[in-house]
Amino acid sequence: MRVVDHVIVGNPGGAAARSGEVFDPNTGQVQAQVPLGTEADLEKAVAAALAAQPGWAATNPQRRARVLFKFKELVEANMDSLAHLLSSEHGKVVADAKGDIQRGLEVVEFACGIPHALKGEYTQGAGSGIDVFSMRQPIGIGAGITPFNFPAMIPMWMFGVAIACGNAFILKPSERDPSVPVRLAELMAEAGLPAGVLQVVHGDKEMVDAILDHPAIGAVSFVGSSDIAHYVYRRGVAAGKRVQAMGGAKNHGIVMPDADLDQVVADLSGAAFGSAGERCMALPVVVPVGDKTADALRAKLIPAIAALKVGVSTDPDAHYGPVVNAAHKARVENWIQTGVDEGAELVVDGRGFSLQGHEQGFFIGPSLFDRVTPQMRSYQEEIFGPVLQIVRAPDFETALRLPSEHQYGNGVAIFTRNGHAAREFASRVNVGMVGINVPIPVPVAYHTFGGWKRSAFGDVNQHGMEGVRFWTKVKTVTQRWPDGSADGGNAFVIPTMG
């Protein structure tokens, strides 16, 4: 059976004491084994990173950017094979897998401009004969702990910027679909990245804790569920690290009475059910304003959902494929039953879906709930599956309060033709990323990604200039070149620039 091994410089490999199973979600069969690494594996990676990082940091930014340019070319040349590999372990359809890879590459493209992004600030004549300037220098060794739902995009969000800034990077991808992150590391090496600058270690909580506790790792980026994000943040900060920990979400789509409902339904179909709902920026809650809007929206959603095709990840006509594994399938179906038990109206039930010839695959049909209320646990928590909930709101103010008061604050969207309503909503809503007639408002790579409340822990967001700030530290230099003619002043008084 195929083994997805670590990418550690000087690691001889060999059998691991513990290993995890990598499934093909389309068939339900185990297709590979992944070693669950130990603290000793991490020590090897850290030692290699410590040896490699100073030389990489001393490499000028233009040359670092050239490696990233070459990496981008290699990923594009291998797009088809990477997308099929990703689909085979995650279950998302191949077209969606290509989008996963492309969105990561867009951050790599941003990182190719690192010579400009690393420029510091300079003040001439801050005092008599004194100049002040600042420079951005790498943290040293960074680490990324990434989730199963975007095994290409999120690793590239992290290591693209971190490596461009001159850091070494240790990636701990999800053990559920680890092959694409390994392949990306191999392509980085092929692009000319020195050995030890990017390494991949596999594992579960034991490896995560080792990363969070290791004194040589200066910064950690994490994406996953909110409870684990909070744990990662607290433990990492307690160990003296800089930490950004992105958590869960319950994104809302507000539908105003003047919205184009045909467009809304088309947007919701993709945003709620694409990638089987396994996205932190999915749109699993729709909030129509007024019963008339709600009734009309529901009437259009039912046939649109019936028209969705669930298929194997290689089916070019499928709208979405299976969820990642049996445990996640059971979790989503349990949440559907919870919604029923709480009194929500299950309009479309996706449970019991079976695909002929793939009866053991991890497939779930699309589900639609109506008359969901904010008191229900199925509304309060993240389901992370192909489930759309309708929460009716009598007016704009109620609709605004729903996402603003929810424990999560990742993304939100409003659908309207009214510019004033959209502007008011964007200004007042207590959520980190807002879409106006955009159902999945993931910012472009040169802006920044990050939610609020329990959707993110830490003060600095992902990618864009926020990413550059996270993976660097500022050094400020105050310099004077005496000409020998000035007296020293009073050396016992704190210097000022007055």
Catalytic residue list: 280
Class of the CATH domain delimited by 252-436: alpha beta
| Tens of pLDDT, residues 98-139 | 999 999 999 999 999 999 999 999 999 998 889 999 999 999
Q: Determine if residue 81 is left, alpha or beta; phi over 0 gives left, psi from -120 to 50 gives alpha, anything else beta.
A: alpha
pLDDT (0 to 100) of residue 488: 59
CA pair distance 236, 233, nearest whole angstrom: 5
Sorted by where each begins, the domain ranges of the chain are 2-247+455-477, 252-436
pLDDT (0 to 100) of residue 408: 97
| Tens of pLDDT, residues 180-229 | 999 999 999 999 999 999 999 999 999 999 999 999 999 999 999 999 99
Worst-scoring range by mean pLDDT, 8-17, 33-42, 144-153, 368-377? 8-17
Domain 2-247+455-477 has CATH 3.40.50.720: no
CA pair distance 176, 92, nearest whole angstrom: 13
* Cβ neighbours around 466 below 10 Å, total: 18
pLDDT (0 to 100) of residue 494: 74
Residue 484 above 80 pLDDT? no
pLDDT (0 to 100) of residue 17: 85
Q: What is the mean pLDDT of the chain?
A: 96
State which H helix or E strand residue 70 sits in: helix 61-77
- Give the single-character DSSP code of 443: P
* Cβ neighbours around 464 below 10 Å, total: 21
Residue 89 above 60 pLDDT? yes
- Give the single-character DSSP code of 281: T
Worst-scoring range by mean pLDDT, 122-136, 171-185, 246-260, 367-381? 122-136
What sign does the CA torsion over 227, 229, 234, 236 have? positive
Tokens standing for 346? Answer: 């299950």
Among 121, 132, 122, residue whose Cα is nearest residue 497: 132
Helices (H), 78-215: 79-90, 94-111, 114-117, 153-164, 179-190, 205-213
